[in-house]
Amino acid sequence: MKKQSTIVLAILVGGLALVANQIAAPWNSTDSNLGSNTVPFYGQHQSGIEIQRQANVTLVALNLIEGSDIESVGRMMRVWTSDAALLTQGKPLLTDSQAEMAENPANLTITFGFGHSLFEKIGRPELWPIAETAIPAYKIDKFEGRWDDGDVLIQVAGDDANSVFHAVHELVRDGAPFATLAWQQRGFVNAAGVNEGEDSRNLLGQIDGTANAKVGTPEFAERTWVQEGSLVNGTTMVIRRTRMNFGTWDKLSTTKKDAALGRTLADGAPLSGGDINTPMDFGAQNHEGEPAIPDNAHAKLAFTDNNQGVTRRGWNYDDGYTVDGTHDAGLIFTAFQSDLERYLKIQAILAEMDALNIWTAPVGSALFVIPAGVTEGEWIGQSLLEP
Amino acid sequence: MLGLSISALTACSTSDSASSVITISDPVVRANDEMSMQNEATGKYMTGSFMTIANSSDEEIYLTGGSSDAAAIIEIHEVINGEMLPMSDGLAVPANGDVKLRMGGYHVMLMEQAKELKAGEEVTVTLNFSNGESVDYTAPVKMIAMDDEVYGAEMMP
């Protein structure tokens, strides 16, 4: 009988050590002022990854203007590093266009990444720190050319939509001498204080994030942070915008919905029994003698043994209804992994067999490397661009 | 440029006087752009620097001038009815108070720049005060959008 060892391991090691330096405790309802909560900006790793998802995210990709070089990218990152260090702490910029908007950061985090195209544009492709340069094409892809790759990524997340807006606005404005907007995606999960301690649901109603390593555990670090090389203490980030087909999903029985996932919608428990924290039992049979967890169930196919998991941080998006009455909504799937190969192995299997492919379609895809965190006086990306 | 640190970006000030009563915080220098004025004769750029200057003494102190490797001439200006005017008497920093140099108001003018200043660079300026103090600050260069009126006045050295 094959058991889900990763969760067992997480339980065993959980709480043994807090190695990360910027783990914000999730907001809890006894806090008097969520608005004044801050997450440290400086640290070994960039903030905004090893933290329970805040309520709102805006992902912005920018492309360098013509004539950019390694020197101008350095100046850009010095401006942005300085901006992020202030805004995340609730401090307006001297040049702030609406200074009062900076006063309630509400766990604001700002995280920067570089795309492979940046290194090509500045003529330094050898500084790209990982083997893969792009996510390969899969037969399920239905890209629309609106949310793909980009030279620089900024992830702005926080528990207040106003402060997220303001930070994005200031960063894009201060970046104008260097880069122009390529695309943006806005997402959300539960508001702070809702379902505390539980993962938020995606828009298909499924609890999203089950079997992630817990923030602050050695397992989280092992899955997420690069251990050596120029990207040490950084990570790789995959962004897949996945549109959901609610027209057919809504008509499914709960039994069929559960079967597609391999877990119950109700509480996330595996169909092999137990609760959400019970390891999946792929040998278990239902009363008809068939596998309790179907072979094409999402949770089974995405399951990884031997601690080869990734850190998934999905955000729901809602673009409203289209003129034909279709609800254009879905998941901005983001994943962070110390080794991109981990993600690629899982994605290749899901692309071929995942039952959920019937109701979901990737419409955009991007790959970025997330440089290490910095201490005061350094700028984000310095470790990659000044090796 | 890449080698420079950004330690000064979050604001700091230093003084060569042990009994310093002047503090400069949150300094910034406006990057040159297509709106920047140039000396018609020399073609050299000029720009503004902004900050907060605090005075912890019981006496009013005047900011009288300064110097910088980045610009041959440093002047103290104010904007009145959209027109930039040099302050020949200097800028008063009130006793136990501060004065804010902001876009559209008081500012330190960097004239006859040594070179064009781009966003993300750093500039060090020394300001001189009527109590004999000279205070250095290092400011990040940032793009600052401004109303036409603020920078539209004809001001040539």
What type of residue sits at position A20? A
Structure tokens at A178: 């260097």
Helix (H) or strand (E) holding B142, with range, is strand B134-142
Q: Is the pLDDT of residue B17 over 80?
A: no
**What residues of chain B lie within 8 A of the CB of A82, using their CB?**
6, 9-10, 140
Rounded distance, CA A237 to CA A338, Å?
9
| Bridge partners (DSSP) listed for residue A244 | A360
Distance from CA of B132 to the nearest CA of A (A): 28
The residue of chain B with its CA nearest to that of A81 is B6
A130 touches chain B (CB under 8 A): no
Judged on CB neighbours under 10 Å (0-12, 13-18, 19+), B29 is buried
Known catalytic residue at A208: yes
8 Å CB contact of A74 and B1: yes
Residue B112 has a pLDDT of: 95
Which tens digit of pLDDT belongs to each residue from A337-386? Answer: 999 999 999 999 999 999 999 999 999 999 999 999 999 989 999 999 99
| Bridge partners (DSSP) listed for residue A18 | none
Q: Is the pLDDT of residue B139 over 60?
A: yes
Helix (H) or strand (E) holding A2, with range, is none
Residue B148 has a pLDDT of: 53
8 Å CB contact of A174 and B119: yes
Query: Helix (H) and strand (E) counts for chain B?
Result: 1, 11
The residue of chain B with its CA nearest to that of A92 is B26
Residue B84 has a pLDDT of: 80
Nearest 5°: CA angle at A221, between A331 and A55? 35
The residue of chain A with its CA nearest to that of B120 is A75
Nearest 5°: CA angle at A310, between A307 and A313? 145
Q: Region of A168 please: left (phi>0), alpha (psi -120 to 50) or beta.
A: alpha
A174 touches chain B (CB under 8 A): yes
Q: Is the pLDDT of residue B11 over 50?
A: no
Q: Which among B6, B26, B118 has the least Cβ separation from residue A379? A: B6
CB B43 within 8 A of CB B156: no
Structure tokens at A221: 């670090």
A171 touches chain B (CB under 8 A): no
Rounded distance, CA B24 to CA B12, Å?
7
Q: Region of A108 please: left (phi>0), alpha (psi -120 to 50) or beta.
A: beta
DSSP for A238-277, written as a single string: EEEEEEE-HHHHTTS-HHHHHHHHTB-TTT--BTTSS-TT
8 Å CB contact of A71 and B144: no
User: What CA dihedral angle connects A33, A35, A41 and A47, to 10 degrees?
Assistant: 100
Residue B38 has a pLDDT of: 84
A227 touches chain B (CB under 8 A): no
| Bridge partners (DSSP) listed for residue A327 | A321
B34 touches chain A (CB under 8 A): no
A377 touches chain B (CB under 8 A): yes
Residues 6+ away with beta carbon under 8 Å from A56: A157, A158, A159, A160, A161, A164, A186, A187, A188
CB A36 within 8 A of CB A160: no
> Which residue matches tokens 């692309």?
A351
How many Cβ atoms from other residues are within 10 Å of residue A324's Cβ? 5
Percent above pLDDT 90 for chain B: 61
8 Å CB contact of A95 and B121: no
In order of A176, A281, A296, A352, the CA distances from A291 in angstroms are: 56, 9, 11, 20
| Closest by CA position to B56, among listed B26, B25, B88 | B25
Distance from CA of B51 to the nearest CA of A (A): 8
Q: To the nearest whole number, what is the mean pLDDT of chain B?
A: 83
Between B22 and A377, residue with greater pLDDT: B22
The residue of chain A with its CA nearest to that of B122 is A75
Question: Backbone phi, then psi, for B73, in 5-degree steps?
Answer: -125, 130
Kindly state the greatest CA–CA separation across chain B.
Answer: 44
Distance from CA of A96 to the nearest CA of B (A): 9
CB B63 within 8 A of CB B74: no
| Closest by CA position to A2, among listed A209, A264, A218, A293 | A293
**What residues of chain A lie within 8 A of the CB of B139, using their CB?**
none
pLDDT in tens, chain A (387 residues): 444 444 443 333 333 333 334 455 554 545 568 999 999 999 999 999 999 999 999 999 999 999 999 999 999 999 999 999 999 999 999 888 899 999 999 999 999 999 999 999 999 999 999 999 999 999 999 999 999 999 999 999 999 999 999 999 999 999 999 999 999 999 999 999 998 778 899 999 999 988 899 999 999 999 999 999 999 999 999 999 999 999 999 999 999 999 999 999 999 999 999 999 999 999 999 999 999 999 999 999 999 877 789 999 999 999 999 999 999 999 999 999 999 999 999 999 999 999 999 999 999 999 999 999 999 989 999 999 997
**What residues of chain B lie within 8 A of the CB of A176, using their CB?**
143
**What residues of chain A lie within 8 A of the CB of B4, using their CB?**
78
Q: Which among B3, B28, B33 has the least Cβ separation from residue A95? A: B28
Rounded distance, CA A192 to CA A205, Å?
18
A386 touches chain B (CB under 8 A): yes
Which tens digit of pLDDT belongs to each residue from A173-213? Answer: 999 999 999 999 999 999 999 987 788 999 999 999 888 99
Structure tokens at A74: 């350095």
**What residues of chain B lie within 8 A of the CB of A85, using their CB?**
9-10
The residue of chain B with its CA nearest to that of A172 is B143
Rounded distance, CA A95 to CA B26, Å?
10
Q: Among A208, A281, A339, A354, which one carries the catalytic annotation? A: A208
Rounded distance, CA A316 to CA A334, Å?
11
